[in-house]
């Protein structure tokens, strides 16, 4: 899918934070087929610890999750980030995102989403020239 060698997916870890089993399975299958190394987490409370342990190249994030919602995950990742990891929000509840949260993410896709839009968003977020600036420190 990606023609840009600087955004090659080979071996890059994608942390998929998604509690819908069908969507999670589809994302894992799709990302593996594209050459990524996907890791699925279905519980919000485990997502932050998994992100710290796995140190993914990118995260896809649903906002409606059990035990901790996506907004709190964004806050916690931002609090403890030594390196900014691009995040692509994939959710039916994107209206929940505040302006501050929108500034934290590389892309926002509303469910249902186009597969190619997701792949393009991931590739664009991983392209060095398009990387997010360092995260802002809390005021």
Digit-coded pLDDT (tens) for 81-113: 666 799 999 999 999 999 999 999 999 999 999
Is 72 within a domain? yes
Give the β-pairing of 13-17 and 37-41: parallel
d(CA 113, CA 35): 20
Is 134 within a domain? no
Is 121 within a domain? yes
CATH of the domain at 94: 3.40.50.2300
Q: What is the mean pLDDT of the chain?
A: 87
Is 132 within a domain? no
Average pLDDT over every residue of 55-71: 96
Is 75 within a domain? yes
Is 130 within a domain? no
The closest alpha carbon to 63, from 93, 39, 40, 43, belongs to 93
CA–CA–CA angle 122, 119, 86 (5° rounding): 10
pLDDT, position 137: 44
Average pLDDT over every residue of 39-49: 95
- Residue 134 above 60 pLDDT? no
Structural domain harbouring 56: 8-125
What sign results for the dihedral spanned by CA atoms 65, 71, 72, 75?
positive
Is 28 within a domain? yes
Is 70 within a domain? yes
- Residue 132 above 80 pLDDT? no
**How many domains would you assign to the chain?**
1
């Amino acid at each position: 899918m990606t023609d840009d060698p600087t955004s090659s997916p080979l071996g890059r870890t994608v942390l998929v934070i998604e509690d819908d089993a069908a969507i999670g399975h589809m994302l894992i299958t799709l990302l593996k087929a594209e050459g990524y190394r996907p890791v699925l987490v279905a519980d919000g409370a485990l997502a932050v610890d998994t992100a710290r342990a796995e140190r993914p190249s990118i995260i896809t994030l649903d906002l409606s999750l059990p035990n901790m919602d996506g907004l709190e995950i964004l806050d916690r990742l931002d609090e403890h980030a030594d390196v900014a990891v691009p995040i692509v929000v994939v959710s039916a509840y994107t209206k929940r995102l505040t302006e501050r949260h929108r500034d934290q993410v590389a892309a926002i896709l509303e469910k249902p989403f186009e597969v190619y839009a997701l792949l393009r968003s991931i590739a664009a977020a991983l392209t060095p020239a398009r990387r997010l600036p360092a995260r802002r420190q809390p005021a």
